[in-house]
Amino acid sequence: MPSLIDIRRRIRSVKNTQQITKAMKMVSAAKLRRAQDRVIAGRPYAAMLRQILSNVIAAAGDSDDSGSLALLAARPEDRIQLILLTSDRGLAGAFNSNLIKAAQKFIREHPNAKIEIETLGRKGRDFFRKRNFVISGEYLGIFAKPSYTDASTIGKKVVERLKNNEIDAVYLIYNEFKTVATQNLTVTRILPVEPPKSGERINYIFEQPPVDLLMSLLPRYVEVQIYSAIVESTAAEHAARMTAMDAASSNAGDVIERLTLYMNRVRQASITKEIIEVVSGAAAAAE
């Protein structure tokens, strides 16, 4: 049976841990608000870009040059570039493990393809590096301050690789932010670009051929897709960490309650034992 000193030490240790988890929850809550604002601000722009792209592709559909655009041309997916977005830090529940499992499932579903992984975040990089997967690039620390510059760098890289016939397709795996308690695991292809579906077609008046406009619009669309995934993943990470730290704080409270009850029982048993010894000693002396 542990002594009272050991039990008090354990209670003090759990209380210190609870203070840390509560502080981490508050920090994640503050960061989540800013990340959520970026997500909300970026979604209308991405939606409008999809609509414009859909209308321009429809307008360029009758052109003889539209089929020559490498970013739209479908091809057998023998060489795949996989962009995996994980976090740089842990303590976020199943946030990273679900992403890594999705990446492993994707790899198993494409056994004949040569897959290269572009890792955004330390957790995914460390996992696949230890297992000797081909990592074509790694980006650490970009979720602390998400910027369009990082997304543009990655987008230009994969676009050039596709144009140079180094890869056949590019896929994104990330967590889309839904609510604080819900993240939607998303696996989507961004190259070759699948023409977005638009409910209502708008006939634009073009000052240049639609095909020329597509040559500038398609790379920007890819960059926006990557940037949207980064800000969505950032918000989802903070939400997952806030939820995990809240659960950890609650569990720590339960542990403290159980240890306190156990400590009181041990102390009561010790006091009862001492009383019995005193009474027994007094009775023996009286005889």
**Is 259 within 8 Å of 10 (Cβ atoms)?**
yes
**Is 165 within 8 Å of 81 (Cβ atoms)?**
no
pLDDT of residue 274: 79
How many angstroms from the chain centroid is the CA of residue 32?
13
264-283: per-residue pLDDT in tens? 988 888 788 878 877 777 77
| Structural domains for the chain | 4-22+246-280 (no CATH), 30-243 (3.40.1380.10)
Place of tokens 């409910």: 199
Place of tokens 């339960």: 254
Give the strand pairing for 114-120 and 135-139. parallel
The rounded distance, in Å, linking the Cα atoms of 171 and 190 is 6
175-214: per-residue pLDDT in tens? 999 988 888 999 999 998 887 765 666 777 777 888 888 8
**Is 145 within 8 Å of 167 (Cβ atoms)?**
no
Say what the pTM is.
0.87
Question: What is the full DSSP assignment across 256-287?
Answer: HHHHHHHHHHHHHHHHHHHHHHHHHHHHHHH-
The number of beta carbons lying within 10 Å of the beta carbon of residue 29 is 16
